[in-house]
Amino acid sequence: MAATFGTINTATSPHNPNKSFEIAQPPNDSISSLSFSPKANYLVATSWDNQVRCWEVLQTGASMPKAAMSHDQPVLCSTWKDDGTAVFSAGCDKQAKMWPLLTGGQPVTVAMHDAPIKEIAWIPEMNLLATGSWDKTIKYWDTRQSNPVHTQQLPERCFALSVRHPLMVVGTADRNLIIFNLQNPQVGSIEGRVGVHHVDEAQQSKNFTFKCHRDSNDIYAVNSLNFHPIHQTFATAGSDGAFNFWDKDSKQRLKAMARSNQPIPCSTFNSDGSLYAYAVSYDWSKGAENHNPSTAKHYILLHVPQESEIKGKPRVTTSGRK
């Protein structure tokens, strides 16, 4: 049965001050990742309740739960295969699974580590799966083989990983940022800042950082950074419960959204940028002592970006000149 998410209450909810559409039947524990299919509006969420869930987001304004599968321990990350046929997920059970969701097939284990797997990425240009773990390695997998094609040692535990072939950027504990190959990385940090860095030495003068997700003297983690697939502006979401849209070229914020009453641990755009999905859920930034699973609430919300929020615009100087 389809669950309506398109009905918006006129009264603003503390968890939904921006009156975003709400996905029905959300996870039962903290939401760790969100991933849209590259081929259709199928949204996958992973959670600390050991589950991987999928919904179809309909044009009529409804969300339809499609399927779910389980890991043995909390699930930390997810990604889709580029043809949209399968979902990869991984987490605290130290294994990655491939789930042929669209064909109704059973999930199979395709990767193993010696510690939890924090990040996962499919690299279509190489037909390989990359997994980043707290065992201080990145491993590359041909999903038809049981052993990794290559193991890359890291200086510390993998906390973040982003791939845009031929570039891979990895963030680890102890504030290491490691770049493999050449391209233009952007990475969120735990200092309430976002840095834009150019790999090309000729572009180094254009590097900059800016402060965000701060409130007076309170500094919040930047949990998620997503580029809009059309306009190449980007959204940040953080432990302060807010998400903002930014234009890196004009170095300005396009839109600041109202803060939810809980952190936003993860977010993503769909393939054409017409939907921005974000979770409102505990992000563990204050440790286990500040989390009560029996009373905690978890939500997945859908914001429909307006053009003024996500389309870049020329920077106007104090003299009024662009």
The two tokens of residue 35 are 């991933």
Instruction: Give pLDDT tens digits for 257-305.
Output: 999 989 999 999 999 999 999 999 988 877 777 777 778 899 999 999 9
DSSP string, 112-137: E-SS-EEEEEEETTTTEEEEEETTSE
Burial 1-16 (b: 16+ CB within 10 A, else e): eeeebeeeeeeebebb
Instruction: Give pLDDT tens digits for 102-158.
Output: 888 999 999 999 999 999 999 898 888 999 999 999 998 999 999 998 888 888 999
Q: Which of 215, 207, 115, 202 is nearest to 158 (CA)?
A: 115
What's residue 187's pLDDT?
Answer: 35
What's residue 85's pLDDT?
Answer: 96
What's residue 200's pLDDT?
Answer: 56
What's residue 284's pLDDT?
Answer: 82
Highest mean pLDDT among 204-218, 220-234, 304-318: 220-234
| Mean pLDDT score across all residues of the chain | 84
* Residue 317 binned pLDDT confidence (cut-offs 50, 70, 90): low
What's residue 145's pLDDT?
Answer: 93
Instruction: Give pLDDT tens digits for 8-60.
Output: 433 468 999 998 889 989 999 999 999 999 999 999 999 999 999 999 998 76
Q: How far apart are CA 98 and CA 26, in angstroms?
A: 22
Q: In what order do the strands lie in the sheet containing 243-247? A: 222-227, 234-238, 243-247, 252-256
Q: How crowded is residue 287: how many other Cβ atoms within 10 Å of its Cβ?
A: 7
Instruction: Give pLDDT tens digits for 64-115.
Output: 899 999 999 999 999 999 999 999 999 999 999 999 998 889 999 999 999 9
What's residue 213's pLDDT?
Answer: 60
Instruction: Give pLDDT tens digits for 166-218.
Output: 788 888 998 888 877 634 333 333 344 444 444 455 665 665 565 666 676 77
What's residue 318's pLDDT?
Answer: 53
What's residue 222's pLDDT?
Answer: 86
What's residue 276's pLDDT?
Answer: 94
pLDDT at 62 over 80: no
